[in-house]
Amino acid sequence: MGVVEEVNSTANAIEATPPFAGRRAIIYGAARGIGRAVALEFARRGAHVGVADIDLAGAQTTAADIVLSGGSAIGLKCDVLSSESVRGAAEQAEAALGELDMVMNNVGVILGGFPEDIPLSEWERVLGLNLMSVVRSLEVFLPKFLARGSGYIINTASFAGLYPYAFTRMPYVAAKAAVVALSESLALYLVPKGIQVSCLCPGPVMTRVAEGMKAWTANAPMAGPGSQFTVKSAEQTATLLADGMRDGRIMISTDDQVWTTVLRHAEDPDRFIHEKIAEFARGEWGIPGR
């Protein structure tokens, strides 16, 4: 079998696998926002869902809403800064739902400020929540999935990890860029072994993530990914993710216009950066709808 045939065979195998009906999933960071919407969407498509979050009441509310709609779910408390808590939530989900087939690493926090104002402790906190939470999850699930030769890993990144614009939230940028690179390399390693990988890259999405945002610099500007993008709801984002998974996609964005921007950046990174500097100097902050 040639290389092209092997690639097509792998892709067809992915597409032929129903990713939701009867599957058992755990979503870390699913009490609200994108995670909650994804939990509801996965359940609507027939998955049994473990809803894990540091906010137990929120996780239980999401799970109760799934059950009320005729689905199967359990709400779980989990602190993704703790390996023991990540593993414990997975064990509780398996005890209630059965062996887990899918894991989504969705926990994310942002902050604001110039890099010289952000203390080391905040870098560690943000990297711990946005990046190391994925690593802790992989520690739990990779051995299981590899032993079975099947499974699905979904990681949430961001447009901010694809190209430079979010200079006042650099710990978040660094974490999400790492999640993108990690997810792509995981796909290289795992897809041939029967384990599916998707990386969700949200652009502008209406969520409450900014409510708990710490600001370390007064009046620091909030730059966006580009005014050309349409703001999506969490529900639209969940549908786009689920449809992309159904279609066997690895990189899933909330707006496929983003790949044009990524291509422009890749063609000449220096020029892209200098153009972005000029945009900011003109007061063009890349906020959708402005």
Residue pair 198/137 in contact by the 8 Å Cβ criterion: no
Query: How far is residue 161's CA from residue 175's CA, in Å, rounded to a whole number?
Result: 8
172 is catalytic: yes
Q: Which of 28, 152, 163, 172 is catalytic?
A: 172
What are phi and psi for residue 148, nearest 5 degrees?
Answer: -85, -25
The residue among 282, 286, 272, 278 whose CA lies nearest residue 163 is 272
Residue type, 232: K
What are the C-alpha distances in Å from 79 to residues 68, 130, 213? 26, 12, 18
> What is the DSSP secondary structure assignment for residue 118, as one 8-state letter?
S
Which residue has tokens 């384990």? 195
In the sheet that 251-253 helps form, which strands lie side by side, from edge to edge?
72-77, 48-53, 24-28, 102-105, 151-156, 195-201, 251-253
**Residue among 250, 126, 127, 249 nearest 183 (CA):** 250
CB 229 within 8 A of CB 258: yes
Residue 16 identity: A
CA dist 187 and 70 (Å) reads 33
Give the whole-angstrom CA distance, residue 290 versus residue 283. Answer: 11
Please identify every residue annotated as catalytic: 172
